Amino acid sequence: MTFVPSKGCRPTLPALVTLPHTFVVFLIRDADLLSPSVKRFWVEAPRVAQHWRPGQFVIVRVSGDGERIPLTIVDGDKDAGTICLIVQGIGATTMAINRLEMGDSLLDVAGPLGTPSRIEAFGNVVVVGGGVGTAIAYPVARALHEAGNQVTSIIGGRSQEFVILETELSKVCERVLPATDDGSYGQPGQVTDVLSDLLRSGETIDHVFAMGPIPMMRAVAEVTRPHFISTTVSLNPIMIDGTGMCGGCRVLVGSTTKFACIDGPEFDAHIVDFDVLTSRNRAYSEFERAQAEGCRVVGA
């Protein structure tokens, strides 16, 4: 609706017109490929860099008409005022982000959001990262190491070129054990096979963290359950605002509804309802596929 003043009526709100507008640009300071579909960015975000903790994330938007997506904060540099984000290009928005290069910028980077990881002196800890989930695992593994734990990282990918952050993890872990589906690097098979081998060898494991695809995290939970090993997973439901207002990230944990964006994203793996999580994440799969293909869904 447009307000049209009548004769003799003059608007008396000049402050609304003359207030200066500050436009924040989240400049990309560096960008490099880690694998054919995974890209690492260092983004200028001074406030986030000052306050983030392992396990937290940001909500990112590329353009004014774009969707909001959550991305884990992988690293940060307080002095430079930058944070590290790692993006797998699988949907329309993530592919758009991965087309950006150094010198480009993101429209929105809001955060840090979420509850930080529970970091304490567990003892012997195994951190499992599947695919791009290794990007979520890295800051947790580093924090666990700094807290005095003995940390083993198990990381996986479809083939050697999809195994990421092995060098970075080797600096903060006692062991890094890679696995590939096709056997081209590390142990042939899945990350759960490596975890099972450690348990069969009689190794005592005090806590397990798992980050990656839902089926992988579910499988890790079933490997550790018979051994009564406390296990934490980082859930990845659909998120929009990241503040608990939209309700899109509802998850069922121990028969209680939780919001992954504020109560998580990390939860006890043995009481997460993975069926509900899987079902909710598939709700917009057709729309996402059409968007990635550059199509428009009728009725959307």
Residue 14, pLDDT score: 45
Residue 300, pLDDT score: 43
- Say what angle helices 214-224 and 274-281 make with each other, to 10 degrees: 180
pTM of the predicted model, to two decimals?
0.83
Assess if CATH 1.10.10.60 describes domain 26-113: no
Residue 294, pLDDT score: 57
pLDDT in tens, the chain (300 residues): 444 444 444 444 444 444 444 556 799 999 999 998 999 999 999 999 999 999 999 999 998 888 888 999 999 999 999 999 999 998 888 999 999 999 999 999 998 999 999 999 999 999 999 999 999 999 999 999 999 999 999 999 999 999 999 999 999 999 999 999 999 999 999 999 999 999 999 999 999 999 999 999 999 999 999 999 999 999 987 777 767 777 777 888 898 888 878 888 999 999 988 888 887 766 555 555 555 565 444 444
Q: Which class in CATH covers the domain with range 124-281?
A: alpha beta
Whether omega before 178 lies within 30 degrees of 0, making that bond cis, reads: no
Structure tokens at 46: 């001074």
Residue 236, pLDDT score: 83
* Residue spans per domain, the chain: 26-113, 124-281
Question: ∠ at Cα 139 (126, 288), nearest 5°?
Answer: 100
Residue 288, pLDDT score: 55
Q: Which residues contact 200 (CB under 8 A, 6 or more apart)?
A: none
Residue 127, pLDDT score: 97
Residue 284, pLDDT score: 52
Secondary structure string (H, E, C) spanning the chain = CCCCCCCCCCCCCHHHHHCCCCCCCEEEEEEEEEECCEEEEEEECHHHHHHCCCCCEEEEECCCCCCCEEEECCEEECCCCEEEEEEECCCHHHHHHCCCCCCCEECEEEEEECCCCCCCCCCEEEEEEEHHHHHHHHHHHHHHHHCCCEEEEEEEECCHHHCCCHHHHHCCCCEEEEEECCCCCCEECCHHHHHHHHHHCCCCCCEEEEECCHHHHHHHHHHHHHHCCEEEEECCCCCCCCCCCCCCCEEEECCEEEECCCCCCEEEHHHECHHHHHHHHCCCHHHHHHHHCCCCCCCC
